[in-house]
Amino acid sequence: MTLFHGLSAFPITPATPDGTILADDLARLLLRLKAAKVNSVGLLGSTGTYAYLDRNARRDAVTIAAETLAGEMPLIVSVGALRTDAAVALAQDAAKAGADALLMAPVSYTPLTQEEAYQHYLAVAAATDLPLSIYNNPGTTHFTFGTDLLVRLAAIPTITAIKMPLPAQGNVADDFAALKTHLPDGFIIGYSGDWGCAEALLAGAQTWYSVVGGILPEPALRLTQAALAGDTVRTAELNAQFAPLWTLFRAHGSLRVAYAIAHLLGLTQALPPRPILPMPDSAWPDLRTALAALGVQPD
């Protein structure tokens, strides 16, 4: 089982308004990923609204996922939490429920120092023997990893990978090359930000942590495979088919669009957790056009 490689598909986590997991709906989403043979499933990521779910709901989600996937692909579970003791407990819950690896962002309210973030990761990494990926998501955490911190974290034995955002400035190829010079050989670098991940894979990144992969796994997997093979022509052709969807992701947020796609495909009628509102009705015609460009026809 190869962790942190290829298409890591991040599904939404269907739940009731009070945060109770809709087990059948979640299993339905996961079975699509299993049938498509994505390289891994990223459960309870930002798309999975982990920050809006309590410990019991998150434990339930992991149990459902582990039973549904039945070991056929790695299950990577996000364990981010405000408190270190809470993140430790979530990591231990995930390990007991059948996770294969962990993913963690430095969630905070009071801005963290570099040393505070280091100690937080050190404690969670020691809580289980599962591999842990650093979740670098400044758009939600407002935390910036310094190079020295990343080097220190990469020296912790169970921390073996990082999920990077697309660079705010410059191009992803330069960003990847610069990061590669500081991190040890064998440390796995992947990216999120769906519209730039084909470029990241062509540049040498090993993982696409994908929102669209969690809801439309087949076209996302085709794009991943073309980019990992270094086929620039095919990658450009496939990425162009996604262009209308990338426009919607940037305009409305990929989370809202993922829920809308799930509704159109009849996978769930769950809504994003409040205060997040659904994608506006005015965007639905554009969504249907974007899906048609990918050969996806709602029922």
Cβ contact 252:263 at 8 Å = no
- The one catalytic residue in 34, 50, 121, 135 is 135
Rounded CA gap, 49 and 211, in Å? 12
Known active-site residue 50: no
Cα of 125 vs its chain's centroid, Å: 19
Contacts with 263 (C-beta within 8 Å, 6 or more apart), sequence order: 269
Which amino acid, one-letter code, is at 90?
A: L
**Is 47 annotated among the ligand-binding residues?**
yes
Cα–Cα distance list, 249 to 98, 118, 261 (Å): 31, 32, 12
Residue 174 has a CB neighbour count (10 Å cut-off) of 12
Cα of 165 vs its chain's centroid, Å: 11
Known active-site residue 163: yes
Rounded CA gap, 88 and 81, in Å? 9
- The one catalytic residue in 34, 121, 163, 209 is 163
Annotated binding site for pyruvate: 47
Binding site, annotated residues: 47
Q: Which residues are designated catalytic? A: 135, 163
